[in-house]
Structure 1
Amino acid sequence: MNFALYSDVILLKDIVEDGLFAGDIGTVVDIHNVSGLETGYSVEFFDLLGNTRAVVTLPMSYFRQPTKSDIPTVRLLAEVA
């Protein structure tokens, strides 16, 4: 499965060092095709006010497409000083 540029994806694994957790929703902002490697995606994660929280580049296996069974949820983040 490949993801289109600017599509929403759901994170499948925690990326604690970036403050991201499985279930977080991000937007694909770049696609990285390297011969012999799994396709990679740069994904931007936003808060509900539209501020960027993190941009990470990870392999395709870290994401899945949203489905009609998904419901967005909210979790509070620690404020960054």
Structure 2
Amino acid sequence: MTMELDREVSLTRELPEYGLRAGNIATLVDFVPHPSNGEEGCVLEIFNAIGESLTEIAVPISAIETLRSDEILAVRTLAKVS
């Protein structure tokens, strides 16, 4: 699986600390090494449905996957993080 920067990817797991769910879409911004030789990470930019940037987050690379042609997009309200 080749992942390219500035491409949309989907989350493979829930990230409740950010109000995000598996299947949400993000843009891959950068790859980052783990500080103690663990799993490589990546920086994602999260956008709302009308294209406004909400935040950037860092996650393990295993938390994302490339988009596939058999997937469709959906809209939901962003959960408030408390």
Shift in alpha-carbon separation, 1:76–1:68, aligned structure 2, 3 A: same
Using structure 2 for the length normalisation, give the TM-score.
Answer: 0.82
Tell me the C-alpha RMSD between the 2 structures: 2.1
Distance, in Å, in 2 between the alignment partners of 1:19 and 1:26 is: 13
| Percentage identity across paired residues of the two chains | 34
Segments of 4+ in structure 1 off by > 6 A? none
Shift of 1:25: 0.3
Distance, in Å, in 2 between the alignment partners of 1:9 and 1:67 is: 9
Look up the match of 2:74: 73
Look up the match of 2:28: 28
Q: Which ranges of structure 1 fall in alignment gaps of 5 or more residues?
A: none
Choose between structure 1 and 2 for higher RCO, CA contacts under 8 A separated by at least 6 residues.
Answer: 2
Using structure 1 for the length normalisation, give the TM-score.
Answer: 0.83
